[in-house]
Amino acid sequence: MSMEYDYDEYEELDPQPFRRWRWVLVLISIPVVFLFIYIPLSSLPQYVTFAPLVKYSTLEHNKDDTRMILIGDVHGCYDELVSLLDAANYTSTDRVVLLGDFISKGPASLDVLDFAINKSFDAVLGNHEVTILAKYQNSRPVLFEDGETYALDRPGNIKTDPETRLARHLTPDHIDYLTQLPLVLNLGKVPGGKGFAVHVGMSLEKSVKKQSLNEQLSMDRDWYKDYNSEMKSLPKSDRNVVYYGHNAKYGLNLNKYTKGLDSACVKGGQLSALVLSNGKEKLVQVDCPEYISS
């Protein structure tokens, strides 16, 4: 059966209301798009906050013949880290200590983090780790257990700042690992005295347990000269040996009581490690490609 319709019987629909609704929908969609694209990436927190960071911790030794491998600034250079450990004949019985700034700048920071976690590497906090933690919690100041705060000069921007983008990719496991790292790690007995790992350096103005990251960052780059002089004036039983990174400008800088191991890997220099074993230390290095210019 067929039916015929007389379309002339129906009034033509007025298009004006539809045009008005179309513009209303456009106006509504603009702020919605802004909310879903910009705010989650640049403002909304993932982890709102975390416990105050540790200033000082002591490394627990398994036995006297355990090797210790202290590694300078890795800066996200995962392949070079693996090559360095191969060159050092690393085994699972070795204690590896990363001297801070092992993430940021280089091509594979998350791989370095995952590797450190899976291998149970020890490490100390560098200024880049603390900065990224601040950006992870929406650029809020990071709090240390003694009340010291570390604040950013300016908030991170997801579109222009690689460290803010890196912070947005950190997992809860990454955060758990980073937030349990100390500023200073007591290594116990090492060749020459009592060993301490730190990133920037060691101030003579405060005890090793009360070091301040802000004060360390403002220290003169030649702090190691005064530190070595001071240690030489002390009884041998009171002398410390400081293993540190941070100062790529001076490169490898090995003195009796201070061991600077930042040899500018990410800038095309070398990745350096000191292997401590049986009262002796051995330098191991691998060459690195240039990931960022000086």
Task: Establish if 147 belongs to a structural domain.
Answer: no
Task: Establish if 33 belongs to a structural domain.
Answer: no
Distance CA(150)–CA(134), nearest Å, equals: 8
In eight-state DSSP terms, residue 206 is S
Each residue's pLDDT tens digit, 137-184? 988 999 999 999 999 988 777 778 899 999 999 999 999 999 999 999
In eight-state DSSP terms, residue 270 is E
Confirm if 74 and 81 have CB atoms less than 8 A apart.
yes
Tell me the pairing of strands 270-277 and 280-287.
antiparallel
Task: Establish if 215 belongs to a structural domain.
Answer: yes
* Mean pLDDT, residues 1-10: 44
Selected residue with higher pLDDT from 66 and 257: 257
Percent residues over pLDDT 90 in the chain:
73
Q: How many domains does the chain have?
A: 1
Task: Establish if 101 belongs to a structural domain.
Answer: yes
Each residue's pLDDT tens digit, 188-211? 999 999 999 999 999 999 999 999
Task: Establish if 45 belongs to a structural domain.
Answer: no
Residue 8 C-alpha from the chain's centroid? 75
Task: Establish if 21 belongs to a structural domain.
Answer: no
Confirm if 116 and 123 have CB atoms less than 8 A apart.
yes
Task: Establish if 198 belongs to a structural domain.
Answer: yes
Q: Burial, 143: exposed, middle or buried (Cβ in 10 Å; 0-12, 13-18, 19+)? A: middle
Give the model's pLDDT for residue 1. 44
In order of 45, 54, 134, 185, 271, the CA distances from 90 in angstroms are 38, 28, 33, 21, 15
Answer yes or no: is pLDDT of 132 > 80.
yes
Confirm if 124 and 199 have CB atoms less than 8 A apart.
yes
- Per the structure, the complete domain to which residue 97 belongs is given by 53-127+173-287
Give the model's pLDDT for residue 241. 98
CATH number at 240 reads 3.60.21.10
Task: Establish if 180 belongs to a structural domain.
Answer: yes
Two structure tokens written together for 243 = 């293993």
Each residue's pLDDT tens digit, 20-29? 656 555 555 5
